[in-house]
Structure 1
Amino acid sequence: MKQSRLMSLAESVANVIVGYGVAVVTQILIFPIFGLHTTLAQNLKIGAAFTVMSIARSFALRRVFEAIRMRRAQ
């Protein structure tokens, strides 16, 4: 059975929220090891920037793979 559009949206939103949280927590834990000391606000902004880039990357890859799939179907 195919996933509904609503469930696809819910999955995508959950993925972005979890990814953002993982990014921020990882930064808080890892940055000090490399001598980088940032405030929580800076970590939230950096996490947001990485999240936006991740969404763009994911979208671009999905479109590339869909184009490949469509070429093979012809």
Structure 2
Amino acid sequence: MQTKKESLVESLANVTVGFLVTILSLHIIFPLLGIESHSGKNILITIYLTVLSVLRNYILRRYFNKKQHPDKK
């Protein structure tokens, strides 16, 4: 069973990679879709999505850990 700290570290590592992929992806996809944007907006969007991703990963990880090990806190 993962500790809460281990769950958070795993989520942060996962999301760090996602952050970099998203930054690069926005620079590719927005121009293809005709969406005008600049680096500042792209970074702000990515930060917002990153925070949501960290929370989602952490909550799901804790839920499944608790479900698999209901007797432990």
Q: Where does the alignment leave 5 or more consecutive residues of structure 2 unmatched?
A: none
Higher RCO structure, 1 or 2 (CA under 8 Å, sep 6+): 2
1:20-48 CA-to-partner distances (Å, cap 9, x unmatched) read 11111011101122221110111011111
Note the aligned Cα RMSD (angstroms). Answer: 2.6
- Conserved? CA contact 2:12–2:54, under 8 Å: no
Q: Where does the alignment leave 5 or more consecutive residues of structure 1 unmatched?
A: none
> Residue 37 and residue 55 in structure 1: after superposition, are their counterparts in 2 closer, same or farther (change >3 A)?
same
More helix by share: 1
Sequence identity percentage = 33
Output the CA distance in 1 between the equivalents of 2:14 and 2:68. 24
What is the Cα deviation at residue 17 of structure 1?
Answer: 2.5
TM-score, with normalisation over the residues of structure 1? 0.72
1:26-71 CA-to-partner distances (Å, cap 9, x unmatched) read 1110112222111011101111111101000001100110121013
Aligned residues: 67
Q: Which of structures 1 and 2 has the bigger CA Rg? A: 1
TM-score, with normalisation over the residues of structure 2? 0.73
Q: Which residue of 1 aligns with 2:29?
A: 30
Q: 1:1-74 residue pairs with structure 2 within 5 A?
A: 9=9, 12-71=11-70
